[in-house]
Amino acid sequence: MPVNPSQIELVRRTHAQVEAVAGQAGSAFYRHLFQLEPAARALFAATEADQGRKLMDMIASLVEALEAPARFYALCHDLGNRHACYGVAEAHYDAVGTALLRTLREQLGPGFAGPVEEAWAALYGEIAETMMAAPGLSLAGETVGQ
């Protein structure tokens, strides 16, 4: 796993701080995402609050799985397949990464600098790369999301 042990520790420590403001962080993420990619709003059926809770729950699951690579990668593959079905394209992943890092910077303030930002960026890079490499779903002979 490209995220090294010291980065995992930084992510875990700062994730605990973000969890304390999960509702606020989830809303901030979608505000940032829709500023960056207004058309992405059409991909979401749930309210921003509901979607924010889902996002924060998934981030918690991924952070929890960091020391269990098989589980971590299985979660990422499942996410990739589901997001392909929702219509998420590879082009959306950059905006999501930018929105996530902006949200973390906003929520953690000065605590989100240097090695902490690098750790979260490395983690998101690994998640996004694995999601985009997921096999997709075969529908009528076509692979969705590839």
Q: What is the DSSP string of 81-146?
A: HHHHHHT--HHHHHHHHHHHHHHHHHHHGGGSSTHHHHHHHHHHHHHHHHHHHS---EETTEETT-
Position 14 scores a pLDDT of 97
Whole-prediction pTM: 0.86
Position 137 scores a pLDDT of 43
| Angle at which helices 48-64 and 69-86 cross, to 10° | 150
Per-residue confidence of the chain (146 residues) as pLDDT tens digits? 689 999 999 999 999 999 999 999 999 999 999 999 998 888 887 677 788 899 999 999 999 999 899 999 999 999 998 887 777 878 889 999 999 999 999 999 999 999 999 999 999 999 999 998 886 643 333 444 43
CB 116 within 8 A of CB 16: no
- Distances 115 to 47, 96, 121 between C-alpha atoms, Å: 33, 20, 10
Position 55 scores a pLDDT of 93
Position 4 scores a pLDDT of 94
Give residue 34's region: left, alpha or beta (phi > 0; psi -120 to 50). Answer: alpha
> Looking at the domain 5-143, which fold is it?
Globin-like (1.10.490)
Give me the helices (H) in 3-65, please.
5-19, 22-36, 48-64
Position 46 scores a pLDDT of 66
The whole-angstrom separation of Cα 15 and Cα 36 is: 23
